[in-house]
Structure 1
Amino acid sequence: MAPLSQALSPQLVDSGKNDGRSRYVYSGTVDPDWVVGSIPHGGYVLGLLVASTMKCQRQTKHKDPIHVTAHFMQPTAKSDYRVEIEVIRTGSRFSNLTANLVQEGETKVLTHMIFGTLPPFDALPSSNKHENIPPTHPLYKPIPLVSHPRSTFSEELQYKYGRFRKYVRRAEDHALRTRNKSKLTAPSGTHDGGLESGAWWEMMQDEGGIGLSMMPFFADIFENTPALLSEAHGDGTMFMWYPTMVMTLEFKRQLPPQDTPGVSNRTLGVYSKGSFLEHGRHDIYGEVWSSPGNIGEGDGRDAGDESWKRDMRCVAVTGQMALSVPLAINKSKGEKKAKL
């Protein structure tokens, strides 16, 4: 039971080579605080895999995660785990690895990861033509969150977030929810459909700030499409479980160093949009952005100064396929795993 940075602490238990490929095994125990209902949070579980691969890549030329593709085969449990890693190929710019999470002899999560070297948070654009869209470019996409963190306030998290509610704070960007409702009555052809959400998330007890291994958590905490649809229609909160089946995560840059002027190292902005919903199965596209400050705090700019939006950087993008099932199934699967 610990803050996220401490809850992501796999330990090396074995390493070697097989058929010329380097292999590593890490192990640990799933922290019981980082659950949704009775099942470990998918982003937290993926963070265990990223943390393990980052450790085995620490002494190589490709230290940074660039891309992760994860298939969640079965629900994980609040129990011991093993992460089995194999380095498939190492090239001049990238290394390819597989990393699988195993519990009770069963593979629960399969991943393929690409490692390389991420540019610094404030890296200058490439000097080569058409290799960047910098903030000064007319086609640059600014942060999609509308409200500055200083004008937001922390809101109580739903009970389904379990005990990790004591480690994080969340402030909703209500302007995006309002936009969802306006689409219901807007004339056809005046918008592109879909449902959006956005929020600022702040880590309260991670004194060292947010690390790359924590990014899968932030990429898996947005509101799911069925919940946003229910709210847009005025039907309130749906007590459902939205298990992730497939997830991709691309890291865009390093996270801001501690004490970077005008940027928080404990808070990130999370934006998502869902476009299609069929019998509960839905897609989600998400972006994770730097934040100009912590929730309820200013950054030295005047309240009407919108320049902060151009100063923020997208640090990761994500995509998901998820399901919508009754929360009772979450509880029953969690209880079943606990009895094994």
Structure 2
Amino acid sequence: MKESEWNVLTAKTAKVKTLGPPLSDPHRHLHSAPQYRRGFKVQLVAHKSVMDAFAKRPTSVLFPNLRELTGALPNPLFSALLSPQLRHLDVTHENMEMFLDNERSLPVLCPLVESLHILTLMEDVRKPFPAPRFIPQWSSLHSLTGGFCVDSALLNDLRGRPKLGKLELCLLDGPYRPMADTECQLREVDSLALDADTYEDVSDALDLLFRPDMQQPSLESLPVVRTLQIRSSVQESAPISFLALPLSQLISHSNLQSFHITHKRERSDGDYPALFEGLRCLSVFHNLTSFSVEIETLYPTEDKLIGAQLSELVSHWPLLETLRVSRPWDLSTFLNALDLVTILRACPTLKNVLVNVLVQPNDVSVLSAMLSAMLDETERFENLVCLCLEHSTARKKDVEPVALILANHAPHLAHIHTEGRVQLEFWEKVAIAAACYSLGLLLQACIDHQASTKHKDPIHLTGHYLQATSATEYEVHVKVLKTGRGFSNLLAELIQQGSVKITAHAIFGDLTPDPNAPVRLALEPPSPYARRLPLTLHPSEHAFDTMGRPWSFKSWVSWSLDKDTMQRNETPERNASTNAAGEKLGGGGMNWAAWCQLRHGEDRVVTSSMPFFGDMFTNLPNLLPKSEPAAQGELSSWYPTMVMSVEFKARLPARDSKDHSARTVGLFCETRFLGDPQGRHNPRVEVWTAPSDVGDTSRPPTEGWRDKQYCIAVAEQMCLTIPFAVNQKEGTRDRAKL
């Protein structure tokens, strides 16, 4: 390279702060390369011409401001990229060996390193780790991760550091003993992961790291560890209780938030305490929010955790949000649904329950009846979001009744994973409104396509659902059919796995009122002919209601029902009139209304969400009184959309509007017809602006608030009434048969 070319290059490299695959998760696993975004695990290889140029570089430090260097690099490239400003560094054993006999060690070249990750192949794990001579020179180092075999010298150095971020250590070079001249200064570790052959080695290492110099420290003075992960095996001399009891004496009881243990039993001879007895010692860590046990054993009955034991454990952790117990397939170790209810009652804060809850086909009817009797109609597990069920056959119907009962008592349940010998997730069909959400994705693609044109606003959209969509990758193909003076016509297709799932015709235009029009052709308040907001009360005067439908998005959306509107359904003649002969004219059907709100404060209603909100209602068969033969139970059928059309009446209000909420809308649905074939009906949903969020007392009703609200969109659809049993049968096929 010429001098001028080097000048251009060095001017650019001086601005570079990161090189290599970007790190996505700082808590990476032992014995693995870093987990990079999109799954990249990259071995970087430079062309010979690049290395030749680097060898002739005019400066020893080509990237003077580099802060992060990641990826497995060959030695010549690794040494060429080192910078004195590095804060995070990925190294391989080969990289470190290059500096063993080098006078300029890594800490001399990179004195400010705070985080070191060792990229280790499995065959390198038990090799002697040459880093202890480097580590004391890095006074700023606070995180040491990756798979490598550590010894007492390294642990003694870590013991002398007051605060550490992340530690991942392989304890395969014991025994671990403290050095007499090393004072224990370690007071805080954010995340600690230990992998060992025995619990004795884990206990010794913890003792070395945290055992204070004083004989009996107070509980308040114990070191803080926030996340602890342990992987070890049962040995005759050191069962799990050998670790659990000392652990409660070494680290703070009030600061441990997450605990994971992988428990291996390699042989069954010997009289070991039960796994539960060892885990009971962890009950002192009363602020746990995540507890995970992974059992790898050939003797599952000796290490089983029954429902009563798990209930007792979680009852000590009132803040627990995640419970995960993974074990080999053995029917004698599984919980049943009644055990699950007991656990949820013992720990009402649970959000994610990933345990083996077995549902067997012969027990479904009895179990369903017992659950119905055990659970009061008003009892709710408000925090439960994710649940895992198991069943012993490949038939979805074996688990469906129990799942639906549990879902009805968990209003925010977003995911039910049902697993058997064949992976089956009936919840995909039962729980998600995939059709209208997918139409929103298609609409967003059209909006993006039109963003640079004069016709930016969607005016009308009609979508036909040809096949069922799924939660996988998709493509949207947009084609402009015609562009005129006032409107553009588009054809769009949503494609998954090579098949067209939804086809739609969209009309785009400009919703800006024409300032030059002599007369504005619009009906608005105070005109007596203008349509007013049909919901009865101001949303600030409402409270949230339970969503009875088993939708998967209930953790993202809530609603408050307009009970006055539903009460008027009890008078079927309310919409009818009579002629002179006393004959009824018009009338019929049912109405439904609610304020619907996005649950997360940062979420906002967007134009492409109108198809989604247009599908948020209770279907006519669910509104009918039980005296009507066509009435359907809330969890007995689903209602697939065949075709939906959305007319966009106006743009969304400004996000800083004082008269409107940015994440709440009003919904008013009227359905007039129900008939053949397949319970076909025609809901029409008006989507209105909202003056405030639900229950927001800081924005009470003001004079004229109702006249300031306007209709954003009107969605009409033709949908069917399909019993779940039929849906499950068809769900086993890729193609929807509606």
TM-score w.r.t. structure 2 length? Answer: 0.38
Aligned equivalent of 1:73, options 456, 466, 476: 466
Q: State whether residues 622 and 632 of structure 2, in contact with CA within 8 Å, keep that contact through their aligned partners in structure 1.
A: no
Pair 1:261-2:658 in alignment: yes
Partner of 1:20: none
Partner of 1:290: 689
Partner of 1:325: 722
Structure 2 unpaired stretches of 5+: 1-413, 416-426, 579-583
Displacement, 1:95? 0.8
For residues 87 and 187 of structure 1, the distance between their equivalents in structure 2, rounded to whole angstroms, comes to 45
Match of 1:160, SS state, is: coil
Q: Residues 334 and 307 of structure 1: is their aligned pair in 2 closer, same or farther, counting only changes over 3 Å?
A: farther
Q: Residues 316 and 235 of structure 1: is their aligned pair in 2 closer, same or farther, counting only changes over 3 Å?
A: closer
For residues 147 and 212 of structure 1, the distance between their equivalents in structure 2, rounded to whole angstroms, comes to 25
Which 10-residue stretch deviates more, 184-193 or 235-244? 184-193
Partner of 2:555: 166
**Superposed, which structure 2 residues align to 1:103-252 within 5 Å?**
103-119=496-512, 127-129=517-519, 131-162=521-552, 164-183=553-572, 189=578, 192-205=587-600, 207=602, 209-230=604-625, 237=634, 239-252=636-649
For residues 91 and 194 of structure 1, the distance between their equivalents in structure 2, rounded to whole angstroms, comes to 40
Partner of 1:15: none
Which has the larger share of strand? Answer: 1
Displacement, 1:206? 6.1
Match of 2:623, SS state, is: helix
Displacement, 1:213? 1.0
Q: For 1:144-192, what per-residue CA distance to the aligned partner results, in whole angstroms no more than 9, with x for missing partners?
A: 1112112221112235202x11111111001111011122699974872
RMSD (CA atoms)? 2.8
Aligned equivalent of 1:90, options 477, 483, 488: 483
For residues 130 and 138 of structure 1, the distance between their equivalents in structure 2, rounded to whole angstroms, comes to 16
Aligned equivalent of 1:51, options 438, 444, 459: 444
Displacement, 1:239? 2.0
Q: For 1:102-136, what per-residue CA distance to the aligned partner results, in whole angstroms no more than 9, with x for missing partners?
A: 222221111000111123xxx69985446111211
Amino acid in the other structure paired with 2:559: R
Q: Residues 187 and 313 of structure 1: is their aligned pair in 2 closer, same or farther, counting only changes over 3 Å?
A: closer
Q: State whether residues 666 and 689 of structure 2, in contact with CA within 8 Å, keep that contact through their aligned partners in structure 1.
A: yes
Q: State whether residues 125 and 134 of structure 1, in contact with CA within 8 Å, keep that contact through their aligned partners in structure 2.
A: no
Q: Residues 176 and 40 of structure 1: is their aligned pair in 2 closer, same or farther, counting only changes over 3 Å?
A: closer
Q: State whether residues 262 and 299 of structure 1, in contact with CA within 8 Å, keep that contact through their aligned partners in structure 2.
A: no
For residues 575 and 531 of structure 2, the distance between their equivalents in structure 1, rounded to whole angstroms, comes to 24
Q: State whether residues 100 and 109 of structure 1, in contact with CA within 8 Å, keep that contact through their aligned partners in structure 2.
A: yes
Match of 1:181, SS state, is: coil
Displacement, 1:318? 1.4
For residues 490 and 456 of structure 2, the distance between their equivalents in structure 1, rounded to whole angstroms, comes to 12
Match of 1:165, SS state, is: coil
Q: Residues 301 and 238 of structure 1: is their aligned pair in 2 closer, same or farther, counting only changes over 3 Å?
A: same
Q: State whether residues 71 and 246 of structure 1, in contact with CA within 8 Å, keep that contact through their aligned partners in structure 2.
A: yes
Q: State whether residues 572 and 587 of structure 2, in contact with CA within 8 Å, keep that contact through their aligned partners in structure 1.
A: no
Which 10-residue stretch deviates more, 171-180 or 97-106? 97-106
Q: For 1:220-276, what per-residue CA distance to the aligned partner results, in whole angstroms no more than 9, with x for missing partners?
A: 111211111246869753521111111110111110111201210100001110011
Q: Residues 68 and 80 of structure 1: is their aligned pair in 2 closer, same or farther, counting only changes over 3 Å?
A: same
For residues 167 and 270 of structure 1, the distance between their equivalents in structure 2, rounded to whole angstroms, comes to 17
Q: Residues 40 and 81 of structure 1: is their aligned pair in 2 closer, same or farther, counting only changes over 3 Å?
A: farther
Q: State whether residues 574 and 587 of structure 2, in contact with CA within 8 Å, keep that contact through their aligned partners in structure 1.
A: no
For residues 429 and 688 of structure 2, the distance between their equivalents in structure 1, rounded to whole angstroms, comes to 23
For residues 428 and 704 of structure 2, the distance between their equivalents in structure 1, rounded to whole angstroms, comes to 37
For residues 51 and 226 of structure 1, the distance between their equivalents in structure 2, rounded to whole angstroms, comes to 32
Report percent identity of matched pairs. Answer: 36
- Count of residues in correspondence between the two structures: 301
Q: Residues 149 and 112 of structure 1: is their aligned pair in 2 closer, same or farther, counting only changes over 3 Å?
A: same
Q: State whether residues 539 and 693 of structure 2, in contact with CA within 8 Å, keep that contact through their aligned partners in structure 1.
A: yes
Amino acid in the other structure paired with 1:181: E
Q: Residues 158 and 125 of structure 1: is their aligned pair in 2 closer, same or farther, counting only changes over 3 Å?
A: farther
| Larger RCO (alpha carbons 8 Å, 6+ apart) | 1
For residues 45 and 261 of structure 1, the distance between their equivalents in structure 2, rounded to whole angstroms, comes to 32
Q: Residues 167 and 319 of structure 1: is their aligned pair in 2 closer, same or farther, counting only changes over 3 Å?
A: same
Q: Residues 231 and 248 of structure 1: is their aligned pair in 2 closer, same or farther, counting only changes over 3 Å?
A: farther
For residues 173 and 185 of structure 1, the distance between their equivalents in structure 2, rounded to whole angstroms, comes to 17
Displacement, 1:48? 0.8
Partner of 1:8: none
Partner of 2:708: 311
Match of 1:166, SS state, is: coil
Amino acid in the other structure paired with 1:183: P
Displacement, 1:209? 1.6
For residues 104 and 71 of structure 1, the distance between their equivalents in structure 2, rounded to whole angstroms, comes to 18
For residues 39 and 89 of structure 1, the distance between their equivalents in structure 2, rounded to whole angstroms, comes to 35
Q: Residues 95 and 232 of structure 1: is their aligned pair in 2 closer, same or farther, counting only changes over 3 Å?
A: farther
Which has the larger share of helix? Answer: 2
Q: State whether residues 230 and 237 of structure 1, in contact with CA within 8 Å, keep that contact through their aligned partners in structure 2.
A: no
Q: State whether residues 549 and 634 of structure 2, in contact with CA within 8 Å, keep that contact through their aligned partners in structure 1.
A: no
Instruction: Give the number of the structure whose alpha-carbon radius of gyration is greater.
Output: 2
Match of 2:665, SS state, is: strand
For residues 253 and 47 of structure 1, the distance between their equivalents in structure 2, rounded to whole angstroms, comes to 17
